[in-house]
Amino acid sequence: MSTISETDVKTRMRALDLIKENFKRLLDELDKSGKLHLVFPKRTLSNTIYDQKSKILLLGPDIQYRSFTDINEAKKFTQTILMASIIYKALRNNEYPTIRDLFYRGKHTISYTSIDGKKVSENSWDDQRESDSVIRDLEVFLNILREDLLILSKEKGKVVGNLIIKSGDDTIDLSKMGHGAYAIEPTPDLIDFIDVDAEYVLVVEKDAVFQQLHRYGFWKKNKVVLVTSAGQPDRATRRFVRRLSEEFKLPVYILCDSDPYGFYIYSVFKAGSITLSYESERLATPTAKFIGVTLTDIFGTEIFKEILRDPQIKNTLEEIAKDVLKLKSKEPYLSIEERRNFVIKAKLRDIERAVELVGYRVAEACIGSPEYRSKIKRKEGVSGYPWFLTPEWIRELCIFFYTTSKLEIEAITGKGLRFLADIYIPRKIENEDWID
């Protein structure tokens, strides 16, 4: 009996064929034109574009040529071929390498005598950044996710809910996980969704909050697929959520802390990450909503008017302030007493992180702390991510800078798990009180 799943056997054959095909084409071209080069979309920051229509980060139209006979490109060319051959061998040998393994496997020193007679030693690559970058190039060149080449990675995502899947040779009922959960596989494209009975997907940033909601039966009561990313989401969790959103048209809500770290987690789920922009098309969930916690949840929306009383702030914000004032207003969920006990003072690095999200203009206009004001340094090219430059986010971030406050999900569970599970989340969804 083979110990390896049918799914993996098939995936392996597909991947081998794909690599063979692509490199055969390379050789055919060499035969025809005498040229040996790789051609694929350029993976640079300047070729990363936020597509307003699909609302995700994508690669632009620039093309990368990597030629064997160009002295400036020969090393990179050779590295790419080396990596492709290591991956090919791993596939043939029934292996499941990680990117760390691939780094080790390719690491060696080449010694040779240069044209001018000197003895020279050079490493195939010196650190993992180099080999990782080559792996990304290969993903773009082959137009395939590394997971489909059976390159594995650690995986933090977990899920429970009325969801039956087939993974490997097993059919698994994710509503029968007891107090534990199903740890998502690192290759979520190989999952077959057999049956789903859910109203929406709730993604919780914090594993501990996931545990509480799970144990409380939140997903049973509300017909929810409950997922945790356990911090920054990894690729598999993002792909898993995206597939649920795409294949079953399930709404996706993200529950994070109200701080720039939480906002960024949402952003990665929704729009993609900049280094992996070439994969947003498969990993991002552009319909995902940030359900909370928000600073307006605890300060209400009136505070924004208070902020605007400062004429300088009003001037700097200009048009956007008007758009913000048109948003629905709301009452805070916490009393003043609770707010005082639950709110945490933002640190300088929180402020700096928030500046990256919305740019300097908002930060400089609103920042309430003289101590931090003097420390924020302008960096070239930081004008914020387009998807954070909406009235809803500007309002949140203005309150963040003005009060230098952040808030954890636990501030809501501090009022009771029932409050979080039976009032806060359902009411936010019912009132469409989220940020898109």
Residues designated as active site = 104
Residues 210-229 that bind a second copy (CB under 8 A): 211-212, 215-218, 220-221
Does 95 bind a second copy (CB under 8 A)? Our answer is yes
109 secondary structure, DSSP code = E
Alpha helices in 36-125 (DSSP H): 74-92, 99-106
Least Å distance, CB 387 to a second copy, is: 28
Helix (H, G, I), strand (E, B) or coil at 315: helix
Q: Which of 110, 416, 426, 431 binds a second copy (CB under 8 A)?
A: 416
Q: Which of 37, 42, 75, 107 binds a second copy (CB under 8 A)?
A: 107
Least Å distance, CB 185 to a second copy, is: 4
Distance CA 401, CA 365 (A): 9
The contact pattern for a second copy, residues 122-161, with x = CB under 8 A and - = no contact, is ----------------------------x-xxxxx-x---
Please give the span between the terminal C-alpha atoms of the chain, in angstroms, as a whole number.
50
- Per this entry, what is the length of the chain? 436
Least Å distance, CB 333 to a second copy, is: 14
Residues 322-341 that bind a second copy (CB under 8 A): 340-341
Q: Which of 57, 91, 149, 165 binds a second copy (CB under 8 A)?
A: 165
Q: Which pairing describes strands 289-292 and 252-255: parallel, antiparallel, or unpaired?
A: parallel
Nearer to a second copy, 202 or 355 (CB): 202
Is the CB of residue 244 less than 8 Å from the CB of residue 222? no
Q: Which of 177, 308, 382, 389 binds a second copy (CB under 8 A)?
A: 177
Distance CA 4, CA 270 (A): 34
Does 413 bind a second copy (CB under 8 A)? Our answer is yes
Does 167 bind a second copy (CB under 8 A)? Our answer is yes
Distance CA 76, CA 78 (A): 5
Residues 380-399 that bind a second copy (CB under 8 A): none
Nearer to a second copy, 46 or 109 (CB): 109
Q: Which of 135, 138, 145, 230 binds a second copy (CB under 8 A)?
A: 230
Q: Which of 46, 93, 312, 374 binds a second copy (CB under 8 A)?
A: 93
Residues 245-284 that bind a second copy (CB under 8 A): none
Residues 33-62 that bind a second copy (CB under 8 A): none
220: left (phi over 0), alpha (psi -120 to 50) or beta: alpha
Least Å distance, CB 184 to a second copy, is: 6
Return the closest-CA partner of residue 87 out of 154, 25, 144.
Answer: 144
Residues 183-212 that bind a second copy (CB under 8 A): 183-187, 190-191, 206-209, 211-212
Does 232 bind a second copy (CB under 8 A)? Our answer is no
Is the CB of residue 35 less than 8 Å from the CB of residue 261? no
Total binding residues for a second copy by CB under 8 A?
72
Does 410 bind a second copy (CB under 8 A)? Our answer is yes
Does 347 bind a second copy (CB under 8 A)? Our answer is no
Which residues contact residue 322 at a Cβ distance below 8 angstroms, ignoring those fewer than 6 apart? none
Is the CB of residue 214 less than 8 Å from the CB of residue 181? yes
Q: Which of 8, 51, 73, 323 binds a second copy (CB under 8 A)?
A: 8
Task: Give strand ranges (E) for 284-397.
Answer: 289-292, 344-345
Does 417 bind a second copy (CB under 8 A)? Our answer is yes
Q: Which two tokens stand for residue 18?
A: 């794909």
Does 180 bind a second copy (CB under 8 A)? Our answer is yes
Residue 193 forms beta bridges with which residues? 165
Distance CA 408, CA 342 (A): 8
Nearer to a second copy, 56 or 151 (CB): 151
Which residues contact residue 127 at a Cβ distance below 8 angstroms, ignoring those fewer than 6 apart? 103
